[in-house]
Structure 1
Amino acid sequence: MRVLLFGATGMVGQGVLRECLLAADVQEVVAVGRTALTQEHGKLHQVLHADMFDFQPLEHLLQGFDACLFCLGVSSVGMDEATYTRQTYDLTLVAASTLARLNPQMTFVYVSGTGTDSSEQGKVMWARVKGKTENALLRLPFKAVYLFRPGIIQPLHGVRSKTRLYQAFYTLLGPLLSLVRRVRPAWIVSTESVGRAMLAVVRQGAPQAVIEPADIHRLAAERM
């Protein structure tokens, strides 16, 4: 399969990229982003693009894909609702609308978050915006849309967060997170399990669009 990956330099995206490159049935990964990856691989091709609100110049490169794994996202900390909406809802829908037109056979996988508000009416700003984004994605004419709500994610295999505070947290509490992930798998997932679960829903689908941590663990354990 051919996979389009957004957000490959982020913590989740790094883990997803690793699993894509390891998967025997993934023949090509095209990573679209503003920042160049230092990693090189025979399956990996990079497309650097500065304006993530305009994909018209790239349309000839964005066709013929089986899946889009959309791991691009920002923290809402310090943002007002208008700014967060532009960086979350607007940016995602510009990309997704373009891809739905060019690749109606595509499976679109979006990284959302635990606590997302599907009603779009709750008091928590980020949850409303994520809910609005999820609902809009479900209305697009893709083959399938899956909304991953992973909660706490533990980075594995050298994956690092670009946010220093988050990386310090993961470094300090890494062993504890590993223990909790084994005894309470509904609380914590890993970058490895997220990547494997994404590929699983592309391969064989899932009974529901919203993928919670327990679903991620189950899907990641399934064999090709």
Structure 2
Amino acid sequence: MYNVIITGSTGMIGKGVLLACLNSEEIQEVLLINRSSVGMESPKIKELLLQDFTQVHEYSEQLKGYDACFHCMGVSAVGISEDKYHQLTFGVSKSLADTLFELNPDLVFCYVSGTGTDSSEKGRIMWARVKGKTENYILSLGFKKAYMFRPGFVLPEDGIKSKTKLYNTIYVLLTPFYSWIKNSKNVTTTRKIGKAMVHALTKEFSKSLLENKDINKLAE
């Protein structure tokens, strides 16, 4: 039985990961770290609400004894400066990863970045550089296992909705084609991402950078 931490469970991907954990007999406890409550009740769920994630180290006592962290929290790069995006992406992730590695070095750390992330940290696309820097830092820490999830096109399932209205409109339009789209190896779903993260605890996978087809394979 495993105890896991999830960030960003109020978002589309994080919600899928939370549902997978609640449905898994192998997951005993889920600590949700968010800015606002997820609004769900379960004997498995504990919540830690933070406004400043860079201060997560102040809650060290509540973060001991966990087997995995599924770091699904993220912000859009649209309309914000590189400095701000760097703070909200790399800064927050570094604070979380540093704290958890100090407390639980044998932890499995899964980070959600995105397809197109730039591991060289030198490309033209700002968000891709910052995400690449974040991935590289987490991989360098020395966790027991670390997987960088790079989802591309993701279909929401189980009643989950995106916080972005445009995306929800697109998903509604695509609903009649879901059964066909889901058969593509290059498309994943919120349910598959959740299952893949749970399986990351119990299975060995040869890659640390997981695109959609890798996520789907780990979810099997």
CA contact (8 A) 1:15 1:191 kept: yes
Output the aligned Cα RMSD. Answer: 1.1
1:143-154 alignment runs, 5 A limit:
143-154=144-155
Indicate conservation of the 8 Å contact 2:199/2:218, yes or no: yes
Secondary structure of the residue aligned to 1:27 is: strand
What are the residue-to-residue correspondences of 1:1-224 with 2, within 5 Å? 1-182=2-183, 184-186=184-186, 188-221=187-220
CA distance in 1, matches of 2:151, 2:137: 20
TM-score, L = length of structure 1: 0.94
Q: Which runs of 5+ in 2 are unaligned?
A: none
The answer on whether the counterparts of 1:154 and 1:189 sit within 8 Å (CA) in structure 2 is yes
CA distance in structure 2 between the partners assigned to 1:151 and 1:32 by the alignment: 24
> CA separation in 2, counterparts of 1:152 and 1:80?
25
Instruction: Please tell me the residue identity of whatever aligns with 1:180.
Output: I
Contact 2:57–2:96 (CA<8 Å) still a contact in 1? no
Quick check: 1:154–1:174 contact (8 Å CA) kept in 2?
Answer: no
Structure 1 residue 215, shift from structure 2 partner: 0.9
- SS of 2:124's partner is coil
Runs of 4 or more off by more than 6 Å in structure 1? Answer: none
Sequence identity (%): 42
| Alpha-carbon distance, 1:75 to partner | 1.1
Q: Which moved more, 1:122-131 or 1:160-169?
A: 160-169
Q: Which moved more, 1:13-22 or 1:54-63?
A: 54-63
Query: Contact 1:32–1:49 (CA<8 Å) still a contact in 2?
Result: yes
| Alpha carbons 2:6, 2:71 under 8 Å: kept | yes
SS of 1:82's equivalent in the other structure is: helix
Q: How many residues align?
A: 219
Evaluate the alpha carbon distance shift between residue 86 and residue 178 of structure 1 in structure 2; reply closer, same or farther with a 3 A threshold: farther
Matched residue type, 1:124: I
- AA aligned to 1:185 is K
Whole-angstrom distance in 1 between the partners of 2:73 and 2:116: 18
CA contact (8 A) 2:13 2:72 kept: yes
Q: In the TM superposition, what is the alpha-carbon distance from 1:177 to its structure 2 partner?
A: 4.2
Deviation at 1:146, TM superposition (A): 0.4
